[in-house]
Amino acid sequence: MAKERRKAVLELLQRPANARCADCGAPDPDWASYTLGVFICLSCSGIHRNIPQVSKVKSVRLDTWEDAQVEFMTSRGNHVARATFESKVPPFYYRPSASDCQLLREQWIRAKYERQEFTHPERQEPYSAGYREGFLWKRGRDNGQFLSRKFVLTEREGALKYFNRSDAKEPKAIMKIEHLNATFQPAKIGHPHGLQVTYLKDNSTRNIFVYHEDGKEMVDWFNALRAARFHYLQVAFPGASDADLVPKLSRNYLQEGYMEKTGPKQTEGFRKRWFTMDDRRLMYFKDPLDAFARGEVFIGSRESGYTVLDGLPPSTQGHHWPHGITIVTPERRFLLACETESEQRAWMEAFRKVVDRPMLPQEYAVEAHFKHKP
């Protein structure tokens, strides 16, 4: 009898909606919440275990199932649960995937099932109101210490501001929503709630690194920033659909890591630098947590004279790492070296994706303003 019940649950995985985790979309979920009626992956099942008052989980293949539980799973499933628990997700709210950090996945699951924010829209106020203020731990530019700073996000002014003192009249920095990006970087920042915020200052990239001890607070900030970007873009592109705008709200970096580089004359030695590929901007830093890039390179499309070559010119000297990459731009060549072959392959793939993509009209304007820095 137990075998029959398990077989019945396994058969439910053949339904298209149940073929992926209800929370992160990972394929072939092996676990289920028998109180919510959803099929989930091993990773998300661990998060469900932390909210036992809402969700109780079982292995689809290994645990014993009761008749009532099988009936409930049959009547529910991921399709029905999505229609219930995700009925009012704002278009700007970030829906995490299997590759996203633990914090984003945990807060999405808690928002859905524990706080039921997407069945009760009034609970979305912390990130939907168009205004948010509070204190975040911000990394100091010079000493690397995290200090408490007041942040204010105001859609009306189109800006995120922070103040060095809570009673300060003037903000230390004003970051325009138009050029703002936010991405979670727990490993780089050394905190599970670490967020990297990037903005343009005089057409150069500036980084700030923040976190909050409360995971919900940090994800609310992240989604408030995405909401502000969404409403800005709705005004900037009045004919665009939500599906066109949502991918532009925030972006993860295409690739990050250490490489060696040499200068424009290619005669000086190679130096180890931290590189970040952010859309068409390749930036390099002395340290991963630097506020400003040492240099930025614009990488256009093949049609505009940009190519990426495997290896370095035969005469190249001074690099310690063996796996070379040459980036050819209309102005000059950039010589880089990776420590391992797998890192070189990952960088080559990232560069080729960018080079193979035709440039948009606004990207030609960025290219024209871009100054290649040695």
Residue 257 · residue 187 · CB < 8 Å: no
pLDDT of 374 strictly over 60: no
Dihedral of alpha carbons 132, 133, 138, 141, sign:
positive
Residue 139 · residue 209 · CB < 8 Å: yes
Distance, CA of 62 to CA of 10 (rounded, Å): 11
Tokens describing residue 269 = 């030695």
3-class DSSP state of 271: strand
Distance, CA of 166 to CA of 164 (rounded, Å): 7
pLDDT in tens, 299-323: 999 999 999 999 999 988 888 999 9
Tokens 């606004």 label which residue?
362
pLDDT of 261 strictly over 70: yes
pLDDT in tens, 23-48: 999 999 999 999 999 999 999 999 99
* Mean pLDDT in residue range 94-109: 97
Domains in the chain, CATH or no CATH each: 1-121 (1.10.220.150), 124-248 (2.30.29.30), 255-372 (2.30.29.30)
Distance, CA of 103 to CA of 114 (rounded, Å): 15
pLDDT at position 266 is: 66
pLDDT at position 307 is: 97
Residues 6+ positions from 337 with CB-CB distance below 8 Å: 259, 260, 261, 270, 312, 319, 320, 321, 322, 323, 324, 325
Distance, CA of 307 to CA of 267 (rounded, Å): 22
Identify the DSSP state of 269. P
Exposure string (b/e) for 300-314, b if CB count within 10 Å is 16 or more?
bbeebebebeeebee
* Mean pLDDT in residue range 283-302: 93
Q: pTM for the full model? A: 0.91
Tokens describing residue 155 = 């859609």
Q: Is 196 left (phi over 0), alpha (psi -120 to 50) or beta?
A: beta
pLDDT at position 373 is: 45
Residues 6+ positions from 186 with CB-CB distance below 8 Å: 101, 102, 103, 192, 193, 194
pLDDT at position 135 is: 97
Distance, CA of 362 to CA of 366 (rounded, Å): 7
pLDDT at position 372 is: 45
Tokens describing residue 17 = 């909606």
